[in-house]
A and B are shown apart, each in its own frame.
Chain A
Amino acid sequence: DTGVSQNPRHKITKRGQNVTFRCDPISEHNRLYWYRQTLGQGPEFLTYFQNEAQLEKSRLLSDRFSAERPKGSFSTLEIQRTEQGDSAMYLCASSFIGQGAFNEQFFGPGTRLTVL
């Protein structure tokens, strides 16, 4: 399968611990996005990268959150000192921006985080 993959699929942690999620985009996709989704709500944008550059960050992304895409391929999202309010599904998406006007985002299956 050559879609977007995310690991782990599920993560349970205790409040105050740090967690890191990984996203592997579709090969050759130059844009990568992170979203967060809580129960009953649609996904909310967190941040996105073009190649290795982080171009936009939502105000939802507090100082405890950091995202990287060091070589313009996979990305990691780290949450430090987790809080119960961080419990959510974290979704990654990728797209290719070229000369065409359309930018379809392909989503991964998500990482479900539960903070106890």
Chain B
Amino acid sequence: DAKTTQPTSMDCAEGRAANLPCNHSTISGNEYVYWYRQIHSQGPQYIIHGLKNNETNEMASLIITEDRKSSTLILPHATLRDTAVYYCIAKRNFGNEKLTFGTGTRLTIIP
């Protein structure tokens, strides 16, 4: 799996958009970008994934640069319940089943 780099921590005001960056400069063509988050005392939770097109679901949007070397997870209207550690993971969809988590970004939503 390609290595990913994320900021250690970020703050965001409640109600504002939270933009979480991830660098994956060595990502290969068949690796997807996955985002999971882990709220305190819970197991990780899937958020979204993408290959090269931007993706949106009910939780978030994922913007992947054209060269695929970086991406940004966007939580459009952050709430206090979005306070969590967010993990960006590069992984193939087949032939590699484990998720390789880094240390993630600790996002704190400020009231």
In the complex the two chains form, is A107's CB within 8 Å of B97's CB? no
Which one, B41, B45, B49, B101, contacts A43 given CB within 8 A?
B101
In the complex the two chains form, is B104's CB within 8 Å of A42's CB? yes
Tell me the complex Cα distance, A58–B96, Å: 13
Q: Which of B38-66 contact A (CB under 8 A)?
A: 41-46, 49
Contact indicator per residue, chain A 79-116, by CB within 8 Å of chain B (1) or not (0):
00000000000010100000001111111111000000
Closest to A100 in B: B93
Measured between beta carbons, the chain B residues less than 8 angstroms from A44 are 101
Tell me the complex Cα distance, A6–B93, Å: 26
In the complex the two chains form, is B98's CB within 8 Å of A102's CB? no
- Cβ of B102 within 8 Å of any chain A Cβ, yes or no, is yes
Tell me the complex Cα distance, A15–B102, Å: 29
Number of B residues near A (Cβ < 8 Å) is 19
Given the known A-B contacts A42-B104, A101-B93, are A110 and B43 also in contact in the complex, defined by CB atoms under 8 Å?
yes
- Cβ of A33 within 8 Å of any chain B Cβ, yes or no, is yes
- Cβ of B103 within 8 Å of any chain A Cβ, yes or no, is yes
Tell me the complex Cα distance, A101–B98, Å: 15
Measured between beta carbons, the chain B residues less than 8 angstroms from A101 are 93-94
Interface centre among B41, B46, B98 (most CB of A within 10 A): B98
In the complex the two chains form, is B102's CB within 8 Å of A42's CB? yes
Closest to A107 in B: B43
In the complex the two chains form, is B46's CB within 8 Å of A104's CB? yes
- Cβ of A45 within 8 Å of any chain B Cβ, yes or no, is yes
In the complex the two chains form, is B101's CB within 8 Å of A93's CB? no
**Chain A min CB distance to B39 (Å):** 11
- Cβ of A28 within 8 Å of any chain B Cβ, yes or no, is no
Measured between beta carbons, the chain B residues less than 8 angstroms from A108 are 43
A residues lining the B interface (CB < 8 Å): 4, 31, 33, 35, 40-45, 48, 55-56, 58, 91, 93, 101-110
Task: Please give 18 more A-B residue pairs, beta carbons under 8 A apart, in addition to A43-B101, A105-B44, A110-B43.
Answer: A40-B103, A41-B101, A42-B85, A42-B87, A43-B99, A45-B99, A48-B98, A93-B43, A93-B44, A101-B93, A103-B97, A107-B42, A107-B43, A107-B45, A108-B43, A109-B41, A109-B42, A110-B42
